A and B are shown apart, each in its own frame.
Chain A
Amino acid sequence: MNPKVKIAYWPQVVAFIMWLGTACLTYFFKNADDFPRTTEFAYLCFSIAIFCALTLSSNKVRYYGSWLLALALFAGGWELIQAKFVMLPRPFFGAPQELLDVFITDWYRLLDSLLHSLTLLLGGYILGCFIGFSIGIGMGWSLHFGYWAHPILRFFGPLPPVAFLPLLFAVIPSSWLAGELLMAFAAAFPVAVLTWSGIAGVNPNYYDVARTMGAKSFFLIRHVAIPAALPFVFVGMFMALGSCFYMLVVAEMLGVKAGLGFYMQWAQGWAAYPNMYAALIIMAVMCTSFMTLLFKVRNNLLRWQKENIKW
């Protein structure tokens, strides 16, 4: 954000009015059906309206004024269409207060599912990155290691990790462990390939420079090959994160009896669609947080690079 650019006030002023309007609409007009938490939703809209008013002087918040306005229109429209007139087929489409109700009544189970998903994701991802990174370095550095690792990587690597799912869940008694291994597998392949190609692409003069100053193999790997390959490693880690998200949902829907994917599966079974929406939202927040975190780590470690995209 350029501090010199003037940020208009009107979007946030209109946003304030619209949130207030949505609050009134929710509170004063009769629902078409028996929806829970209508008053609470009105209070929530009212709080957001107050927030808009109080932060009007903040450049940072005002920058997002148009978003606040758009969200107000969305919430108001949704409330009108579904809670007041029920224009969309139920139960697939709920009213906003129903979603709020899920968060209020079922927060404990949602949090529990989130924690399960987090452990599964984090454990598998970190394990996979570590394995992939080690394999990549081994292949980039040692011909003997490459002799054995390369064919294996070529044979199994392109296989979608999901293909192992039936086998792993049958063979390994703990479905959690099986899920963890699947995630690790999903992460390891892209990290291994990119680490390997990163190390293979290191300018050989970088090694010569260090060697003429007396460097041995360990220094060359630790302080030349790895930092030089790091941009590639991160590309691999981003790809790995994407395929881990994917594997997480699949594993939780098909085998692991916990986590957000399992929660969604359950919600579908009971036709509890608002619960499904809630889980979706939480899952989106979780995934984007992970991405953001990885970008932060990357930008910090690669701050020597010229071009650093913002996430």
Chain B
Amino acid sequence: MVKKQKIEINHLSHNYNLNNNELLVLDNINLIIKSQEFVIILGPSGCGKSTLLRMIAGLEQPSNGSIQVNGHEITKADPSRVVVFQDPTLYPWLTVWDNVNLGYKIRKEKNDQAVQSMLELIGLENFKSAYPHQLSGGMAQRVALARALVNDPSILILDEPLGKLDSLTRITMQKELVHLWRKRQFTGIMVTHDIEEALLLATRIIVMRQRPAHIIGEFRLNMSYPRHRDSEELIKIRKDIFHLLGHQSDW
């Protein structure tokens, strides 16, 4: 099944109120994301990436400008756009199974088959009655991914989903992400701090500047998966990104 989803972000700006001061976080963002892209957003810490993702998810409303999906303004959260947060944020009082089943429970549906096969996909079918505190960090993050994917979202929003994992688990999870993205054919929008990760996963990389966030660079990556870190194209793009983010070749 192909899910046609086109996200259009037009002149998006956003202010927060911080101690009675206006804090401009997003400054005139313009971006179009097509169906089945895997867009990765890079930018300095605190520049406003999470804020942008929350708006795409519909968890917050922008101060100015618009975000549309297929021409419809986003006004509230919707199961077709599911978020995976940096922390797994599993509900500690629910078992792994019940956590993954959350979306169905909310919508009063029942699809044990889907939950089961999702648990198998992430390799945790033996842990379905475990509680989150009994899982390792990587396992918990996989459950969080499963909990999002089981809703079969057409847009998956990932806010540094692998940020807290050790480098080996990270590599495994990166492979898994690419695999899931290709199999499930969702549109991926992901934030990461890790340039390597962006280079290995994205079909497009968006670079933002220091707060207020504004897009300062865009790179299309047409290479097939799995990608090799040392391929010439990647080396060149890596260099350009470093340059954009203010690091010269001395690092």
Contacts and interface: CB of A to CB of B under 8 A. Distances in A.
Given A208-B59, A212-B83, A304 B77 contact: no
A219 B105 CA distance: 10
B81 A212 contact: yes
Given A219-B106, A304-B131, A211 B93 contact: no
Contact of A212 (B59, B87, B107, B132): B59
Nearest to B92: A304
Interface residues of B, number: 28
Nearest to A301: B93
B57 A212 contact: yes
A215 interface: yes
B85 A227 contact: no
Given A212-B57, A213-B102, A213-B151, A205 B89 contact: yes
Interface string A204-228: 0110111111110001000110011
A203 B89 contact: yes
Task: Determine which residue in A206, A208, A213 has the highest number of CB atoms from chain B within 10 A of its CB, and name it.
Answer: A213
B79 A214 contact: yes
B107 A208 contact: no
A185 B19 CA distance: 39
B163 interface: no
A195 B91 CA distance: 18
B198 interface: no
Nearest to A230: B93
A121 B131 CA distance: 36
Nearest to A220: B106
Chain A contact residues, majority secondary structure: helix
A208 B85 contact: yes
Interface residues of A, number: 21
A308 to B, nearest CB: 12
A306 interface: yes
Nearest to B82: A212
Contact of B91 (A208, A212, A224, A306): A224
A41 to B, nearest CB: 52
B93 A228 contact: yes
A212 B147 CA distance: 11
Contacts of A224: 91
Nearest to A211: B77
Contacts of A211: 59, 77
A215 B83 CA distance: 14
A209 B93 CA distance: 15
Interface string B139-174: 000000001000100000000000000000000000
Interface string A104-124: 000000000000000000000
Given A205-B85, A205-B87, A306-B133, A210 B93 contact: no
B244 interface: no
Interface string B78-100: 11011101010101111100000
B137 interface: no
A208 B83 contact: yes
A303 to B, nearest CB: 8
Contact of B79 (A203, A212, A219): A212
Interface of A: 203, 205-206, 208-215, 219, 223-224, 227-228, 230, 302, 304-306
11 contacts: A209-B83, A209-B102, A210-B102, A212-B59, A212-B79, A213-B103, A213-B107, A224-B91, A227-B93, A304-B95, A305-B92
Given A227-B93, A306-B133, 19 more contacts: A205-B87, A206-B91, A208-B77, A209-B85, A209-B89, A211-B59, A212-B78, A212-B79, A212-B81, A212-B82, A212-B83, A213-B82, A213-B103, A213-B151, A214-B106, A214-B107, A224-B91, A227-B91, A304-B94
By Cβ-Cβ distance, the 3 closest A-B pairs, closest first, are A213-B103, A227-B93, A205-B89
